Amino acid sequence: MRRASLLLLLLSSSMSVILQLAAAGANGEDAAALLAFKAAAVDGNGVLASWNASAGPCSWEGVRCSRHQRVVALSLPSHGLSGTLSPAVGNLSSLRTLDLSLNELHGDIPGSLGTLDLSVNTFSGELPGNLTSCTSLQYLVLGSNKLTGRIPAELGDTLTRLQWLGLDNNSFTGFVPASLGNLTSLQALNLGMNMLEGTLPQELGSNMPQLLSLDICANNLHGALPSSLYNLSSLQIFDVGNNKLHGSIPADIGEKFPRLEIFVLINNSFSGEIPSSQSNPTNLSYLDLSENGFSGLVPRDLGRLNALQGLDLDHNMLEAGVTEG
Ligand SMILES: *[C@@H]1O[C@H](CO)[C@@H](O)[C@H](O)[C@H]1NC(C)=O
Ligand SMILES: *[C@@H]1O[C@H](CO)[C@@H](O)[C@H](O)[C@H]1NC(C)=O
Ligand SMILES: *[C@@H]1O[C@H](CO)[C@@H](O)[C@H](O)[C@H]1NC(C)=O
Ligand SMILES: *[C@@H]1O[C@H](CO)[C@@H](O)[C@H](O)[C@H]1NC(C)=O
Ligand SMILES: *[C@@H]1O[C@H](CO)[C@@H](O)[C@H](O)[C@H]1NC(C)=O
Ligand SMILES: *[C@@H]1O[C@H](CO)[C@@H](O)[C@H](O)[C@H]1NC(C)=O
Ligand SMILES: *[C@@H]1O[C@H](CO)[C@@H](O)[C@H](O)[C@H]1NC(C)=O
Ligand SMILES: *[C@@H]1O[C@H](CO)[C@@H](O)[C@H](O)[C@H]1NC(C)=O
C-alpha cells in the first residue's frame, strides 16, 4: 500500500516536472514571439521597456498569462505603438485576446492571428482569407483601418464561434457574403461606413438569436431589407442609415424588436406609415427616420416614450400628430 502510494507520488512529481519543463519551453516560445512583436513595432512611449530578459514575459507590461505560464492576452490599447504587426504574434498559441486598438500600427494584417481587436490603426490591404484558419476566434474587431477588397466569404463558414465582427469604417467593397448568416453566435455585426453594394442576403438574421447590434450604415446597399432581419428579437441597435434601401416598416416592428434602443433609417427611400407599434419598445432612446418617404400621421405615443432622447422625422411627407420638442 505504502509502496504503491510512494510510487504514485514519484510518478506524479516526475509528471509535474515534465509538465513544468514543457511549460517552460512553450513560455520561451511565447517570449520569442513577443520579442519579435517588439522588434517590428515602434514604441514611442517606451511602454515595452519592461519587455527584457530581467524577468519572464508574464511580468511584461500588457501581457497576461495562464496559471501554466502561457501568454493568453496581449493588451496594449492606446499606447502610441506604430510600425508593423509581426506575424510572430501568430505563434502565441494560447493567445485568446489581442487588443492593440487605438494605436498607429500599419501594413498588412498577418494571416495567422487569434482573437483580434486591431481597430483604429492604419492597417491596409485585404483581409486575409486564411484568417479563417483561426477557428476559435471570437472577436474580430478591425474597425477604422484602411482595409480594402471583399469581405472573405470563408469567414462565415469557418469562424463559427465569432461573437463580434467589426469591419466598420474601412474601404471594403463587394457584397455582404450570405455565409455571414451562418455566424449563429454573433452579438455584433458592424459593417457600417464601407463601400459595400448589392442587396442584403436573405440568410442574414434568420439564425442569429443573440445579435444585439446590426450596423450597416453608410454603404451603397439597395433593395428591401430581407424579412429574416425581423427575426432578430434580441436586437438593441439597428442602423441602416445612408444607403439606398426601400420598403416599409412592418406593422408589428415593436413586437419584433422589443429590446430596441437605437433605430436609424436616415437617408434612404423607406416609405409607408410609421406603425404605432414603433412606440412599444420601452428602452427606445434614439429614433431617426429622417430623409425618407414616410407619409401619414406620426403615432401619438412616440412622444410618450420615457427613454427617448433623440427623435428626427424631418424631410418626410408626414402630417403632424405629435408635438415636436
Ligand atoms: C514562429 O513559428 C515559426 C514556425 O514554427 C518559426 O519558424 C518562427 O521562428 C517563429 N517565430 C518566432 C519569432 O518565434
Ligand atoms: C527591464 O525590465 C524591468 C521591469 O521588468 C525594469 O525595471 C528594468 O529597468 C528594465 N531594464 C532595462 C534595461 O530596460
Ligand atoms: C496565409 O496566406 C498567405 C499568402 O497567401 C501566406 O503567406 C501565409 O503563410 C498564410 N498563413 C497561414 C496561417 O496559413
Ligand atoms: C474612421 O477611421 C479613421 C482612420 O482611418 C478615423 O480617423 C476616423 O475617426 C474614423 N471615423 C469614425 C466615425 O470612427
Ligand atoms: C451555412 O452552413 C451550412 C452548413 O454548414 C452550409 O450548408 C451552407 O452552405 C452555409 N450557407 C452559406 C450561405 O454559406
Ligand atoms: C425566423 O426564425 C424561425 C425560427 O427561429 C425560423 O423558423 C424562420 O424561418 C425565420 N424566419 C425568417 C424569415 O428567417
Ligand atoms: C445619403 O446616402 C448616400 C448613399 O446612399 C450618400 O452618398 C449621401 O452622401 C448621403 N447623404 C447625406 C446627406 O449624408
Ligand atoms: C431596458 O433596460 C433596462 C436597463 O438596462 C433592462 O434591465 C431591461 O431589461 C430593458 N428592457 C428591455 C425590454 O429590453
Quick check: CB of 112 below 6 Å from ligand 6?
no
Quick check: CB of 210 below 6 Å from ligand 2?
no
**Residue indicated by cell numbers 446597399:** 221
Q: Domain ranges in the chain?
A: 1-107
Q: Whose CA is nearest to atom 1 of ligand 4?
A: 144
Tell how far the Cα of 90 is from the centroid of ligand 1, in angstroms: 9
Per-residue pLDDT of the chain (325 residues; tens, 9 = 90+): 444 443 344 334 444 444 444 455 677 889 999 999 999 899 989 999 999 888 889 999 999 999 989 888 888 888 888 888 887 877 777 776 777 777 777 766 665 554 565 655 555 556 665 555 556 677 777 788 778 889 988 888 878 888 889 899 989 999 999 999 999 999 999 999 999 999 999 999 889 999 999 999 999 999 999 999 999 999 999 999 999 999 999 999 999 999 999 999 999 999 999 999 999 999 999 999 999 999 999 998 888 888 999 999 999 999 875 444 3
Q: Order of strands, edge to edge, in the sheet holding 195-198? A: 41-43, 81-84, 104-107, 122-126, 146-150, 171-174, 195-198, 220-224, 244-247, 269-272, 293-297, 317-319
Tell me the pTM. 0.75
User: To test the ligand 7 pocket, which listed residue (221, 267, 288, 291) has its Cβ within 8 A of the most ligand atoms?
Assistant: 267
Tell how far the Cα of 259 is from the centroid of ligand 8, in angstroms: 7
- C-alpha to C-alpha distances, 117 to 35, 114, 133, 144, 208, nearest whole angstrom: 20, 10, 17, 11, 22
Q: Whose CA is nearest to atom 13 of ligand 1?
A: 33
Quick check: CB of 112 below 6 Å from ligand 3?
yes
CA 21 to chain centre: 37
Q: How far apart are CA 250 and CA 253, in angstroms?
A: 5
Quick check: CB of 233 below 6 Å from ligand 6?
no
Q: Are strands 139-141 and 41-43 parallel, antiparallel or unpaired?
A: unpaired
The C-alpha cell that represents 155 in the structure block = 469567414
Angle (CA) 102-217-261 rounded to 5° is 90
What DSSP state is assigned to residue 180? G
Q: Mention the CATH class of domain 1-107.
A: alpha beta
The C-alpha cell that represents 124 in the structure block = 491596409
CA 318 to chain centre: 36
Q: How far apart are CA 170 and CA 122, in angstroms?
A: 10
